[in-house]
Amino acid sequence: MAEVVEISDPGDPRLADYRDLRDVELRKHLEAEHGLFLAEGAKVVRRAVEAGHDARSFLMAPRWLDGLADVLERSDGPCFVLSEEMIEQVTGFHVHRGALASLRRQQLPPVDDVLAGARSVLVLEDIVDHTNVGAIFRSGAALGFDAVLLAPRCADPLYRRSIKVGMGAVFSTPWTRLPDWYDALPELSRRGFTTVALTLSEDSVPIEEAVAGVGRLALVLGSEGHGLSPRWEASADRRAIIPMAAGIDSLNVAAATAVACYAAARR
Amino acid sequence: MAEVVEISDPGDPRLADYRDLRDVELRKHLEAEHGLFLAEGAKVVRRAVEAGHDARSFLMAPRWLDGLADVLERSDGPCFVLSEEMIEQVTGFHVHRGALASLRRQQLPPVDDVLAGARSVLVLEDIVDHTNVGAIFRSGAALGFDAVLLAPRCADPLYRRSIKVGMGAVFSTPWTRLPDWYDALPELSRRGFTTVALTLSEDSVPIEEAVAGVGRLALVLGSEGHGLSPRWEASADRRAIIPMAAGIDSLNVAAATAVACYAAARR
């Protein structure tokens, strides 16, 4: 059971995991080096722990203790309790639902485990924005996708912002990193998936047509800026577009993913 | 033609329109009082001016001058030129595509003008997040919606972040505020629109079914947190859901809108 530790000094070194949460670069280094990630908000903290992630510690204002009592009960790490003002001093911003947890990263599962039994899989190449990664996990989970695979350079789904935007879908959806970028899509084809890349290519067909009759589907999404790499675009089994009004920039990747998942769910 | 004015002091009072862009509350007051809004990024600045918005002034680093020369040519306000470091000091953050413009707000058009000829309209009740408002404008424009109506308390589509996320769709899509909240939906019905509210209600039907055969469609979206008001939910002609996987939180409003627009575009 988590020991409740009241803290009155925002400089207390035991709060190191929670410093300067808005400094993305600092956080990336700190979290990688210490093998941790942060969950923000009472609901997300609960989901992280219920999904089996070990808490190194919790940090919260007193009023969140009761609602999370059962979560603290089953955890070993200490629960640091501070006023909301002090939490803001430590983290560098106002934590809207004043509970945080620092959790241990687990080793990512092998691709085989993630794909076992999956019928619909999202494959993200180089999505760079944590908000988009979170939104994609959330849409995929809501619209019936079973798993997510990430190219080596895709942004971290366990980054605080990804988790928050995804409403914790990253805890309920099996996911892992692809060990190999170059042959990732042919490898999925060999495993029996039809890889459908969302991309503005000359031979792209409307998404509904591209997924029609497909059994095991891998829906492939590229980066926000320049889209898919030429290698991934060319090595996908099919290329698909979402039909759009003339003269309009493409949908953003999160919106496009939601639409494509919706179309795929109805195949 | 915009006069190019080189500025070497970030405290120069002529830069008042561009101060502290990250301070949402400050900006809301300043922009309302002075009847201005900010466009960020060379592409968005161009679209704002091309859409007929008068520039009070521009602010940019030297390297953006050439690409925007024709835009400056047709504008009257001065163009303040500063180094990127100084722009960061003024605005309070790193402006990624270092061009900004401060533009005059125009009087919003009457509802009649916005609805003239429109077949598919988005109606936003109390969306509070500027990112969501921008994403909704962008998805609507991409997926064939002709106009947007906003309830009195919906967040500002001309806020910098809304414009940026919307990729300037707010300039190409006719929109206005609804003068009356209470009877807004019955009023749309009287004008010949079928109002379809996206909401988890007992009598909600799948979105595709709800829009089938509808001529003039008003797709109605509620707030991120608690959804539609009971009044709007009850006064819509139809209530619709996006079919989702069991046990999952709803899609976020931007993703749900994209899916609903896609389904509606195919009615």
Q: A4-104 domain in CATH 3.30.1330.30?
A: yes
Look up the CATH architecture of domain B111-265: 3-Layer(aba) Sandwich (3.40)
Q: Which residue of B has its CA nearest to A164?
A: B252
Question: Per residue in B170-203, pLDDT tens?
Answer: 999 999 999 999 999 999 999 999 999 999 899 9
Q: How far apart are CA A40 and CA A48, in angstroms?
A: 10
Decide if B243 touches A, using CB distance below 8 A: yes
Subunit contact B258:A263, Cβ cutoff 8 A: no
Structure tokens at B67: 């690409």
Percentage of chain B with pLDDT > 70?
99
What per-residue confidence (pLDDT) applies to A249? 64
Which candidate in A165, A262, A266, A267 is best for mutational testing of the B interface (most B CBs within 10 A)? A262
Q: Where are the domains of chain A?
A: 4-104, 111-265
Q: A206, exposed or middle or buried, with CB in 10 Å at 0-12, 13-18, 19+? A: middle
The pLDDT of residue B249 is above 70: no
What per-residue confidence (pLDDT) applies to A98? 77
Q: How far apart are CA A84 and CA A217, in angstroms?
A: 46
Strands (E) located in B62-146: 79-81, 99-104, 120-124
Q: How far apart are CA A250 and CA B135, in angstroms?
A: 12
Question: Per residue in B48-93, pLDDT tens?
Answer: 999 999 999 999 999 999 999 999 999 999 999 999 899 999 998 8
Q: How far apart are CA B81 and CA B100, in angstroms?
A: 10
Decide if B50 touches A, using CB distance below 8 A: no
What per-residue confidence (pLDDT) applies to B168? 85
Q: Which residue of A has its CA nearest to B260?
A: A259
Nearest-CB residue to B250 (from A142, A245, A263): A142
What per-residue confidence (pLDDT) applies to A23? 84
The pLDDT of residue B26 is above 90: no
- Asked if A13 and A69 count as a contact pair (C-beta separation under 8 A), the reply is no
Question: Per residue in A71-125, pLDDT tens?
Answer: 999 999 999 999 999 999 999 888 777 799 999 999 999 999 999 999 999 999 9
- Identify the segments of chain A with pLDDT beneath 50: none
Domain B4-104 and domain B111-265, same fold? Reply is no
User: What band does B2 get if pLDDT is binned at 50, 70 and 90?
Assistant: confident
Subunit contact B258:A259, Cβ cutoff 8 A: yes
User: What band does B235 get if pLDDT is binned at 50, 70 and 90?
Assistant: very high
SS3 A241: strand
Q: 3-state SS of chain B: helix, strand, coil percent to 5?
A: 40, 20, 40
Main-chain phi, psi angles of A240, to 5 degrees: -135, 150
